[in-house]
Amino acid sequence: MKRNTVSIVMCTYNGESFIREQLDSIMAQTYPVEEIIIQDDCSTDGTFEVVSEYASRYPHIRPIRNKTRKGVNGNFFDALGKASGDYIAIADQDDIWEPYKIKRQMQAIGDKLMCASFSQPFYGDGKDYAFDSRVPNCSLLRMIYVGIFPGHSTVFSRRLLSLMPDPAPIAVYRCYDLILALTAAAFDSIVFLGEVLSRHRRHASAYTYIVPTSSRKSAGNVFRWLRRTWRLHKELKDTIRLRLSTAEEFLSHIDSEEPVLQKALYMLRLQASLSRLDFFRLQLFCMRNCEYLLYTHPRCKKTLID
């Protein structure tokens, strides 16, 4: 039986400090990797030199250097289009993979378009930090509002790229990994593997870094969170409306017969409406579909990771 081929796509920018660890963890994968595309977005440090060094030792590494900056979304979508494998795994430049990451995800994906798994955050001291280890809700309804898992924790069928509409309009407001996940979710075709298969480095120069302050559960922090949320709502309500309208436009061009897609489009139309009647319709919709909107399914209480 023919083995499905896997391409790994990594996009880099000024990642010299940590990229060797990530590359070493990729080279240690127990599932054969067809090719590794590493596309550098005009780094000003020695990132591309490190990549070129590895490419000289491993011929299946394809180093590519952009002539002009493309940005995170532009760089990833361009690089993904160059992959030739049956499946594609996204890699960040500063994380660490477990040796069996690709193997476990390829075993789990079945006929689904995408497989995601847990990614354990860690900081400069090398210690792992706590994270929510409940199996997340990968419903399209929830994913419209919030990203569920990072791109580096996924493997997906290359066919997903042909099912995805033009990402340019929505990419102004959403990151490439969420756009891919939205497409897979519109086909109800995501499997989540409840295992830690990668370790996600958190540092100040990382693209997704957020300073982990005021995270304790306390009345004061709850009050500050509510006040901040209210302030941001007033400041960003027009931007939020644009984000939702571009999501509706994007999803409306996906050719899927899954009921969840029609539900999502209905919800987005209610969200965009200024009618009071539609406002109450939206509340009723959310109550009826709360299990698809909450972080995890209400009946799923099991914690998989201590």
Greater pLDDT, 261 or 204: 261
Structure confidence at residue 7 (pLDDT): 99
Ordered strands of the 61-65 beta sheet? 61-65, 35-40, 6-12, 87-91, 154-157, 114-122, 190-201, 96-97
Opening angle at CA 26, ends 13 and 209, nearest 5: 40
Listed in order, strand segments (DSSP E) in the chain are 6-12, 35-40, 61-65, 87-91, 96-97, 114-122, 154-157, 190-201
Does residue 206 register a pLDDT over 60? no
Q: Tokens representing 73?
A: 């979304």
Structure confidence at residue 193 (pLDDT): 94
Structure confidence at residue 142 (pLDDT): 95
CB atoms within 10 A of CB 164: 20
Structure confidence at residue 305 (pLDDT): 37
Greater pLDDT, 238 or 157: 157
Residue 212: phi, psi to the nearest 5? -80, 70
Q: Is the pTM of this model over 0.85?
A: yes
- The structural domains of the chain, with segments of one domain joined by +, span 6-201, 219-293
CATH of domain 6-201: 3.90.550.10
4-8, 167-171, 299-303, range with the lowest pLDDT: 299-303
